[in-house]
Amino acid sequence: MVQQIAHLPPAFELLPRLLLLLSDEESDCEALARLIRVDAGLTADLVRASNSASFGGRYRSVTVQDAIIRLGMREIFKIAVKLIASPALEGVYSGPVARLDLWQHSLAVAVGSQVIASRTSYDTEVAFTAGLLHDIGKTVLAQKHGAIYIQLLDECRSKNEPIREAELRRFNVDHATTGADLLEDWNFPEKIVNSLRNHHQPRFNRESDRLLAITNVANSLAYRLGFGCGFPVETVRPNPSALAVLGLSSLEIEGLEERTEEAFQREREPLREPAAVDLTDEETNLRCA
């Protein structure tokens, strides 16, 4: 299943703004980079490209900033245009993936991860990336199982049932494992892969598990702020083991809720723009000529 995924589509909510940037001759590449930063699909595709044989170096890219430095803005525009113009996306956006509605939760976990990382002297951009990508396996499962998977999510929301448990019963695999396998196949760094694979059931054994702890606690924080599918019991309180790794208390995490909410609203600002104009295949090709 993982090997059949050629790319991950950008969130449906970002398409108007992305198309507007690509069609506007006066838009700058930095604006595009800011938009890419808040989308899991675009981030994964961009970091994957920067770690490919064509661009890969001695060290693997971890964040969008790493990928931008390695690829250059021209290549970023080409990747974004390719994703939007790809015929493969026609079915994606008219089908179940368009209903997946992951973006707000993923962004909330990303900014929560960044806020927590700033309190624990951890790289905030790495934490942001891990949080943004933590549920990317749901996109893979939606592409594979279509309406059946969306129905499963709807049932979990109505029953307030943990999605992971329902996935395991229905598909014998969960989104955490699926997402981790995908990013591992795409040559992402091990610490990012680990943070995806274990963010629901973390086990802490080493220094690299700090990122896993950040992702796990930020996921809980996002649910408490109302960004998530229902309110699973496991997210009611932060994981004590994760807090111990980070040297934080539950009270301190509660104190970060307002900062996370404010950061979430700031990250949404680039999207509050006029509706996009239509962009033909010919026009998208010209933008990268």
pLDDT tens-place string over residues 221-242: 998 898 887 667 777 789 999 9
In which band, very low, low, confident or very high, does the pLDDT at 243 lie, cut at 50, 70 and 90?
A: very high
Q: How far apart are CA 143 and CA 136, in angstroms?
A: 11
Same fold, 8-94+276-287 and 99-268: yes
Q: How far apart are CA 212 and CA 210, in angstroms?
A: 5
Query: In the prediction, which pLDDT does 249 show?
Result: 94
Report the pLDDT averaged over residues 162-171: 91
* pLDDT top residue among 53 and 134: 134
Tell me the CATH architecture of domain 8-94+276-287: Orthogonal Bundle (1.10)
**For the chain, domain boundaries:** 8-94+276-287, 99-268
Average pLDDT, the chain: 78
Provide the whole-model pTM: 0.75
Please list the alpha-helical segments (H only) found in 7-52: 15-23, 29-37, 40-50
Q: How far apart are CA 131 and CA 34, in angstroms?
A: 16
In which band, very low, low, confident or very high, does the pLDDT at 177 lie, cut at 50, 70 and 90?
A: very high
Half-sphere exposure of 66 (CA within 13 A, CB side): 22
CATH 1.10.3210.10 fits 99-268, yes or no: yes
